Amino acid sequence: MSGFSQSSVSSQNSRGTKRKWVLEEDVAFVSCMVNLHNVGTFNADTRFNASYLNELERMLEKVLPHAILKAKPNLNSRIRTLKRDWAIVYDILDIIKEIDVEDVATANTHEERNDFHRCQSNVSLDEMN
């Protein structure tokens, strides 16, 4: 329960009070979102339909009764934040994939790729002990 006291810590800014989320809340939030998606009741093509926030609020209230998470503004705001953060992660992964593709493209043969990574080309598993 100590995590909940942290979540109620707030700071004053120009738009009002800003809520701090703790790891336990994020885990429960994402788990409930996945459950909603898997059930399919609130799915509309590739997105959730309008009433999913209210159902998500009810689900989280059962899992985290002391957190007092409301559909608006808490859950709606957290979804926007997670979308932004994951977009950054996806961009980084795309860049890493491009770098790997370029590395493979520059190494024309199997021996060059092994040499590039400073690996020996003909090593048996017995020799790796």
* pTM to 2 decimal places: 0.56
Q: Per the domain annotation, does 129 fall within a domain?
A: no
Mean pLDDT by 10 residues, the chain (129 residues): 46 67 92 86 65 90 91 89 87 83 60 53 55
Nearest one of 56, 57, 55, 36 to 47, comparing CA atoms: 36
Give how many domains the chain has, as a whole number. Answer: 1
Q: Per the domain annotation, does 28 fall within a domain?
A: yes
Q: Per the domain annotation, does 106 fall within a domain?
A: yes
Nearest one of 18, 33, 29 to 64, comparing CA atoms: 29
Helix 23-39, helix 76-106: angle, nearest 10: 90
Q: Per the domain annotation, does 126 fall within a domain?
A: no
Q: What's the domain range around 47?
A: 2-120
